[in-house]
Structure 1
Amino acid sequence: MTGKNEIEKTITHKIADFSLLNQDSTVINEKSLNGKIHIANFIFTSCGSICPTITKNMKTVSDYFISDKNIQFLSFSVTPWIDTPSVLKQFKAKYNIKTKNWNFLTGNKSEIYKIARKSYFAEEDIGFSKDSTEFLHTEHFILVDKNRRIRGIYNGTLTLEMQQLIDNIKTLKREN
């Protein structure tokens, strides 16, 4: 296992501050994640292609850690003009997601797209700058440690990668 100082020197990028509403109209921000590992993805409720699959796969991981308050799941809506808190609440119910540690987030489109592209590096073209006029659609799950550093990126459409994600979360939990 890599030492804490080595990790801090090697991984200098951190997820930026943000403030969005969840499915219950509660503000979720970086303070909500202090000292917690989180997994982020980017979806939209009217998606008919990859979003149902990645939501089911995220649920597999979420169900594994259902009672662990130190693991948080964030699904950012990339169509926040459609995905209001009430729409997100219905979406969560549709997939029978019972855990309290999974928030579906909505808010300002440019804020969501900026955090997706510049903080989470959610798309294939890392470093390629797109603005919020170019639609964001990605299958990636981003694993972030308790200090807001990216520690893994997974293909959310692949069931096989969910076991790797679970194993990597367990490893991060053991880090001081």
Structure 2
Amino acid sequence: MATQAPSSERRAAGGLALVAIGSILAALWYGTLRMPSARWLPDYGPVPPFRLVDQQQHAVTNAHLTGSVWVADFIFTRCAGQCPLMSGRMAQLQAAFRDEPRVRLVSLSVDPARDTPQVLADYASAYQADPARWRFLTGDIEAVRRLSQDGFHLGLSEGGTAAEPILHSVKLVLVDPQGSIRGYYDSTDAKALRQLQADARQLARRGSNGRR
């Protein structure tokens, strides 16, 4: 049976979320000043099959995302390093795509032993995540590790700092409606995030080939 995170951890997560969200409106306004034009997008291969559980305790597989453009990241809720920033960026994308229902967001926990569905639900709430648009996934650690390393080609290891004991990528990954990876974007780079928005809209509106 899943247990809730201690209230102190929830308060800490909420505080980090407020800090991360504080910059979103300004970043979103700035990002709309100039969006990159359409371009050809490379194909990095398909995301392998997976079966995980979301913050509402619903099973999620590749099939649930087929037909949607989606943006993925790897985070964990007790992270005090890059994860609050990454989740803040995802919240920014949720706001940016509010008029584009074909774009979804998926955050995968790299600490599934602690990040139960209830813990993820609390974390998602701190970022005002709409569960219909933004899913937080947890499951078997080996399945998550294979998905990160072999599926998304992103590093994942333990033994980091006290603030971030699990080392993982800060990249956001764009996946097309057929389940193929079409781009990697640095979550710390405002220009890369603007490009991600443009590329995601291009895939949603013009098909998976990413051409004009």
1:19 pairs with 2:51: yes
Query: Is structure 2 residue 202 aligned with structure 1 residue 171?
Result: yes
Matched, 1:106 2:138: yes
The one-letter code sitting in structure 2 at the alignment partner of 1:164 is: Q
Query: Which residue of 1 is the match for residue 210 of structure 2?
Result: none
TM-score (norm 1): 0.84
State the distance in 1 between where 2:147 and 2:192 align.
Answer: 24
Kindly tell me the number of residue pairs found equivalent between the two proteins.
Answer: 163
Q: Is the 8 A contact 2:44 2:183 kept in 1?
A: no
| Structure 2, unaligned runs of 5 or more | 1-38, 160-165, 208-212
Residue type at the aligned position of 2:58: T
Structure label with greater radius of gyration = 2
Q: Secondary structure at the match of 1:68?
A: coil
The 10-residue stretch of structure 1 (93-102 or 133-142) with the greater mean CA deviation from structure 2: 133-142
Give the CA deviation at 1:67.
Answer: 4.7
Q: Is the 8 A contact 1:74 1:104 kept in 2?
A: yes
| Aligned 1:70-81 pairs, distance under 5 A | 70-81=102-113
RMSD of aligned Cα (Å): 2.1
State the partner residue of 1:127.
Answer: none
Query: 2:121 is matched with which residue?
Result: 89
1:72 Cα shift?
A: 1.3
List gaps (5 residues or longer) in structure 1. 124-129
C-alpha contact 1:78 1:136 (8 A) present in aligned 2: no
Cα displacement (A) at 1:69: 3.1
| Amino acid in the other structure paired with 1:147 | Q
- Identical pairs, percent: 28
